[in-house]
Chains A and B, each alone.
Chain A
């Protein structure tokens, strides 16, 4: 009996011990990594040694986190187009980094491959209570799949937006581009002068579609709520194509740019070839620095014009989000580092030093944003907060294919006289929609 009794005591002790350990584990883990537990590996397109403003801020935040937590943060830069594919392959081979930068348009694909952990399980209650509600809901909600928060959006941005030169607009008596397509095409045509072209549109890119951006002037209903598809043969797509044809016919868009990548358009815009151009919003500061042929102070941003009196369009995406690998062995430390990127201080730093829109909306109350140097950030912030702002649906079928298919259609619309209905029907067939 004595033996049985001692076994019972042992069992009880073990159960109690186990229970206590279970309860204490999350705290032990957090306090454990704080004492210097392991390494957090990160895949991003940035380098910790890079010299761009964004990379410098990133490095500062890493240094601060390492000093405070005694955790080593290792950044392994990857080509931005390959981040998602490499990550999924790495997850399958159990050599994925702890944290990864992903484009929002790829989230569903990575989620389907079970690559991402549920952040709800690792984010601190403080972060959930204070930080999440302080971020742009339109972005944060897109990262929630079936109740699981698979990533956190970073640097909220309108992504593809219109950059314009105020000096050229002044030439035709305007302060900013008209925000309705009917008037925009005429204004863009008037801006074409000598070697300068009114409006630069990328027509050859695998992750950007000017056609979708123009179509976004019809609002979020361009994406079917059930399927996530665009109605490529519907009246909205046809009107979009007709707007492009009108831009070409009026000389606002040039057939000589039938094969231009986004980078080509932006570089040529910086060189003064366009009065307005579709450009990648987070590069605004960079393009202010490399502006040639015009005063960088004349550079400004605008939403996309809309159709039928709708609010000016801001299609938010593709934008960056940060996910935690499902296979991570260091989730607590990785989550802590992730949280450190979203503190009000970090948001302020991203905004002030790198010209990015703060993730935490509350920091916009900082007096710095009243200063002239923050005018563009304020402008971007207003665009994001506008009624015309929306994101790509969580699941857009054929998301890896749609951009190249629609860019071919755009080339055909610009470069041929074929009926737009035929061109769009062909795109639909190519996508098997």
Chain B
């Protein structure tokens, strides 16, 4: 009498299932600690932040459930809408400056070879510096008095000092420029790696076909670099949208709120005014805006890959 396994499995299939189970166990074991860390460091604080946004918390004193009051008062305040607007101006203004600069730097690095790598190393120095140190450094450079470096340079041309950080019109462009100075080299690294993936044969073939340098750039470099550019865009968007240290160090959100972004508003409300309930409400709003932007980029990236496929 031949015994047939009740489940219809054979020793062979069982061994495959066992191997798969063992594989899953190894996978779970390997990924487990990372998941636990993410839960402990990201997920739980995020939930706590959301929970806190629904409570009235001031100076570490929880005064009870507030429902959506923090959000209502936040959106009823015109300063919030202005701060959201300034965050978007800061983010996209910085992107508009940083990405072309990073692309230029990456192209220069590729063209210069070994010397290009030295250039990239030099460009990376600001990125390695603490943002608050960068801010203080630029504050000194831009000091509108005889002690300031920029003022001294202007003085050699017989020009008066420029009050960039004290001028409500110029403060935001100045803060954007400093933020870009600090971060564009990071984007340049990613784009340099992306450029390295483009087969050189394509350029040779294009040259044989008589394409100009500009045409090679627009028809080969840009399309093939698009995934890297999208990665850069998404990473810098999050970075710029959440940028606060450069603003704290340079302008403290002023003059007259002209550099008060949502991130600075969060710092001011949560850490200076110690209105932690409302501060967490701002954090939730920032998270949602970040989420929308990321989803947008992921869609773009997905479509791009799909298109290529």
Q: A interface vs B, CB < 8 Å?
A: 85, 88-89, 92, 109, 112-113, 195, 203-206, 255-261, 264, 268, 271, 273, 398, 400-401, 404, 407-408, 411-412, 415-416, 430
Contact = CB atoms under 8 A, between A and B. Distances in A.
B245 to A, nearest CB: 14
Given A88-B60, A113-B61, A400-B272, A408 B146 contact: no
B257 A408 contact: yes
Contacts of A85: 59-60, 274
A90 to B, nearest CB: 10
B147 A271 contact: yes
B252 A259 contact: yes
Given A85-B59, A88-B59, A195-B146, A259 B272 contact: no
B102 interface: no
Contact of B144 (A205, A256, A271, A400): A256
Given A204-B255, A206-B272, A404-B272, A258 B60 contact: no
Contacts of A113: 59-61
B79 to A, nearest CB: 8
Contact of B167 (A195, A258, A264, A408): A258
24 contacts: A85-B59, A85-B60, A85-B274, A88-B60, A89-B60, A112-B59, A113-B60, A195-B146, A204-B255, A206-B252, A206-B272, A255-B166, A256-B144, A258-B166, A259-B166, A259-B255, A273-B145, A400-B59, A400-B274, A411-B254, A411-B256, A415-B168, A415-B255, A430-B79
A408 B273 contact: no
A260 to B, nearest CB: 8
Nearest to B77: A430
Contacts of B79: 430
A398 B166 CA distance: 27
Residue in A257, A400, A430 with the greatest tally of chain B CB atoms within 10 Å: A400
Interface SS of B by simple majority: loop
Nearest to A92: B60
Given A195-B145, A401-B273, A412 B166 contact: no
B156 to A, nearest CB: 16
Contacts of B60: 85, 88-89, 92, 113
A425 to B, nearest CB: 14
Contacts of B252: 204-206, 259, 261
B254 A204 contact: yes
A112 B61 CA distance: 9
A89 B274 CA distance: 12
B171 interface: yes
B59 A259 contact: no
Nearest to B260: A408
B59 A411 contact: no
Contact of B273 (A112, A195, A404): A404
Contacts of B257: 408
Nearest to B252: A204
Contacts of A204: 251-252, 254-255
B148 to A, nearest CB: 10
Contacts of B89: none
B163 interface: yes
B282 interface: no
B256 A412 contact: yes
B177 interface: no
A258 B254 contact: yes
Contacts of B165: 259
B238 interface: no
B144 to A, nearest CB: 5
Contacts of B268: 206, 404
Contacts of A255: 163, 166
A415 B166 CA distance: 9
Contacts of A259: 165-166, 171, 251-252, 254-255
Closest 9 pairs between A and B when the two form their complex, measured CB to CB: A258-B255, A258-B166, A259-B255, A256-B163, A259-B254, A401-B273, A400-B273, A204-B252, A206-B272
Contact of B166 (A256, A408, A416): A256
Given A401-B273, A401-B275, A415-B168, 8 more contacts: A258-B167, A259-B255, A260-B166, A261-B252, A268-B143, A268-B147, A404-B268, A415-B255
A415 B256 contact: yes
A347 B144 CA distance: 42
Interface in B248-288: 251-252, 254-257, 268, 272-275
Contacts of B168: 258, 415
A152 B274 CA distance: 24
A132 B61 CA distance: 32
B140 to A, nearest CB: 10
A102 B162 CA distance: 39
